[in-house]
């Protein structure tokens, strides 16, 4: 039997969190001076930041939301849960980052302005603010696009979590698969991510020349990555066909892989090389590494985060370590490379440990579990229209009807 807590789990958790968040906002938050009356008449700062903020916003809510709609019965959940989770994380992220700010340490208040909204959107991309915020503060790591923290942490945390949470029924579930239209929905998300990724990597880069460099590097890396994805996807397929999973996901790996160093790489060719390696690695990951992860390690990776975020995030860090002439920062190139590698190690270890712990907690009987039948499906959580599962019902049926009809016609003819 479900306990009273289990029955109202969602209401209780969200209500309490929202109430606590509001109390904290009321006590400690204030708007940034530049956003207060008389604060600023200069239009340039906002004009230069706002469009990139909005592009990032589109990526978080449209991009990630629709990228996940590829499962045939999970469209409502994909978009909605993405929306709810991002909102939750944004509030949480503003508070945690606020508490960790110098301003809070000195004045007991933290400021909210356009910049904080942008970093809160980044936090929503990790969905793991506490850790993300701390790592962002503690490590002297070059990470304009947040690749290291956002993608690598997110990916390995998720995988470890999936491992700890796993049970055999999650694999090869009949609901895990796409239909023709759901794959096209997913492309809406994918292409918005693709189009706005340069903004994502350039949004926090400074000054203007670094911003432009981040845009150019990300653009070129994505372009090379996309061509490579098509190339490798077709070449590794038995029937020489393209796979929409690769096209929706691996084409983006170039954006992830160039992320941390988008403002650093100084030659267009390097951006292209990063894109080519990332695209190839990601397709190969989907083809060969995801099945192995599932069967050997028991970490079931529905969306292939290892291939989109994990490996490209790592590549991201290893790649600049190999190049000696592309770092223009204050630290020497090799010093920087060592820092990046240490940062990478910290991120991977902490993400795996945190993920395993979280997975075990989620598996506790105190929380509601998704019913096996309703895995990867909207049915248990959304009011669904009459045709919700009809594609699945009808497809198997068509062939059966075909046979029946044939039989009847034959019989009648006799």
Quote the least distance from Cβ 160 to a copy of itself, whole Å. Answer: 27
174 binds a copy of itself (CB under 8 A): no
Tokens 């229209």 sit on residue: 385
Q: Which stretch binds a copy of itself (CB under 8 A): 313-321, 330-338, 343-351, 391-399?
A: 391-399
Q: Report the C-alpha gap between 265 and 220 in whole angstroms.
A: 11
Nearest approach in angstroms of CB 173 to a copy of itself is 15
Q: Which of residues 113-142 bind a copy of itself (CB under 8 A)?
A: 113-114, 117
Do the beta carbons of residue 76 and residue 379 sit within 8 Å?
no
Give yes or no for residue 207 binding a copy of itself (CB under 8 A).
Answer: yes
Q: Judged by CB under 8 A, which of 400, 410, 413, 414 binds a copy of itself? A: 400
Among 342, 363, 360, residue whose Cα is nearest residue 352: 360
Exactly one of 1, 4, 208, 364 binds a copy of itself (CB under 8 A); that residue is: 208
Does position 6 interact with a copy of itself (CB under 8 A)? The reply is no
Q: Which of residues 211-230 bind a copy of itself (CB under 8 A)?
A: 211-213, 215-216, 219-220, 222-224, 226-228, 230
Neighbouring-strand partners of residue 110: 29
* Residue 3 structure tokens: 């306990």
Find the shortest distance in angstroms from Cβ 106 to a copy of itself. 19
Burial class for 120, CB neighbours closer than 10 Å (0-12, 13-18, 19+): buried
Can you tell me the distance from the alpha carbon of 183 to that of 190, in angstroms, rounded to the nearest whole number? 10
Q: Does 170 bind a copy of itself (CB under 8 A)?
A: no
Q: Residue 265 in 3-state DSSP?
A: coil
Stretch that binds a copy of itself, among 36-44, 295-303, 315-323, 355-363 (CB under 8 A): 36-44
CB of 310 to a copy of itself, least distance (A): 23
Terminal alpha carbon distance of the chain: 58
Q: Is 31 helix (H, G, I), strand (E, B) or coil?
A: strand
Touching a copy of itself, residues 315-354 (CB under 8 A): 328
For the CB of residue 63, give the shortest distance to a copy of itself in the complex, in Å. 10
Distance CA 106, CA 151 (A): 32
* Least distance from a copy of itself to the Cβ atom of residue 296, Å: 24
Binding residues for a copy of itself restricted to 279-318, rule: CB under 8 A: none
The answer to whether the peptide bond before residue 207 is cis (omega within 30 degrees of 0) is: yes
Query: Which residue in the set 3, 5, 7, 370 belongs to the binding site for a copy of itself (CB under 8 A)?
Result: 7
Q: How far apart are CA 46 and CA 35, in angstroms?
A: 10
**What Rg, from alpha-carbon coordinates, does the chain have?**
23
Please say which residue, 234 or 350, places its beta carbon nearer to a copy of itself: 234
> Using CA atoms in the order 173, 174, 180, 182, what is the torsion angle rounded to 10 degrees?
-50
Answer yes or no: are the C-beta atoms of 393 and 199 closer than 8 Å.
no
Residue closer to a copy of itself by CB (options 206, 372) is 206
Q: With contacts defined by CB under 8 A, name the span among 46-54, 134-142, 146-154, 291-299 that binds a copy of itself.
A: 46-54
Binding piece for a copy of itself, criterion CB under 8 A, among 27-35, 130-138, 145-153, 347-355:
27-35
Q: Which one of 149-157, 167-175, 243-251, 288-296 is the stretch in contact with a copy of itself (CB under 8 A)?
A: 243-251
CB nearer to a copy of itself: pick between 372 and 380: 380
Q: Is 387 helix (H, G, I), strand (E, B) or coil?
A: coil
Stretch of 86-94, 135-143, 161-169, 331-339 contacting a copy of itself, by CB under 8 A: 86-94
- Of the residues 234, 326, 350, 358, which one makes contact with a copy of itself according to CB under 8 A: 234
- Position 69 contacts a copy of itself (CB under 8 A): yes
Query: Among 52, 56, 49, 53, which residue's Cα sits nearest to residue 34?
Result: 49
The residue from 1, 4, 168, 239 that contacts a copy of itself (CB under 8 A) is 239
d(CA 129, CA 77): 22
For residue 30, give the DSSP letter: E
Rounded Cα gap, residues 151 and 197, in angstroms: 13
């Amino acid at each position: 039997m479900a306990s009273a807590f289990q029955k109202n789990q969602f209401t209780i958790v969200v209500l309490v969190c929202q109430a606590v968040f509001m109390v904290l906002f009321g006590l400690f938050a204030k708007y940034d001076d530049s956003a207060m009356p008389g604060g600023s008449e200069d239009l340039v700062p906002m004009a230069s930041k706002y469009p990139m903020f909005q592009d990032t916003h589109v990526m978080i809510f449209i991009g990630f939301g629709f990228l996940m709609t590829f499962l045939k019965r999970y469209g409502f959940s994909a978009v909605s849960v993405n929306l709810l989770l991002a909102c939750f994380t944004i509030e949480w992220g503003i508070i945690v980052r606020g508490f960790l700010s110098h301003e809070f340490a000195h004045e007991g208040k933290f400021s909210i302005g356009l910049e904080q909204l942008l970093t809160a959107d980044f936090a929503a991309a990790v969905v793991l603010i506490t850790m993300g915020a701390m790592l962002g503060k503690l490590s002297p790591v070059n990470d304009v696009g947040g690749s290291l923290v956002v993608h690598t942490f997110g990916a390995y945390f998720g995988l470890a979590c999936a491992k700890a949470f796993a049970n055999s029924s999650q694999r090869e579930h009949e609901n895990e698969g796409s239909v023709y239209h759901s794959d096209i929905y997913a492309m809406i998300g994918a292409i918005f991510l693709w189009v706005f990724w340069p903004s994502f990597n350039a949004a926090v880069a400074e000054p203007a020349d670094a911003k432009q460099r981040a845009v150019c590097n990300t653009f070129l890396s994505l372009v090379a990555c996309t061509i490579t994805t098509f190339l490798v996807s077709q070449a590794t397929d038995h029937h020489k066909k393209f796979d929409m999973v690769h096209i929706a996901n691996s084409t983006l790996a170039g954006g992830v892989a160039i992320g941390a160093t988008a403002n650093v790489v100084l030659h267009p060719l390097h951006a292209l090389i990063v894109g080519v390696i990332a695209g190839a690695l990601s397709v190969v990951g989907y083809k060969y590494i995801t099945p192995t992860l599932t069967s050997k390690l028991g970490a079931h990776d529905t969306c292939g985060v290892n291939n989109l975020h994990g490996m490209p995030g790592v590549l991201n860090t290893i790649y600049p370590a190999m190049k000696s002439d592309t770092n223009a920062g204050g630290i020497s190139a090799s010093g920087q490379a060592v820092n990046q590698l240490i940062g990478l190690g910290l991120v991977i270890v902490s993400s795996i440990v945190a993920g395993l712990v979280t997975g075990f907690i989620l598996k506790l009987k105190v929380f509601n579990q998704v019913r096996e039948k309703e895995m990867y499906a909207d049915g248990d959580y959304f009011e669904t229209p009459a045709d919700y599962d009809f594609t699945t019902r009808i497809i198997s049926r068509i062939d059966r009807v075909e046979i029946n009809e044939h039989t009847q016609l034959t019989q009648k003819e006799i």
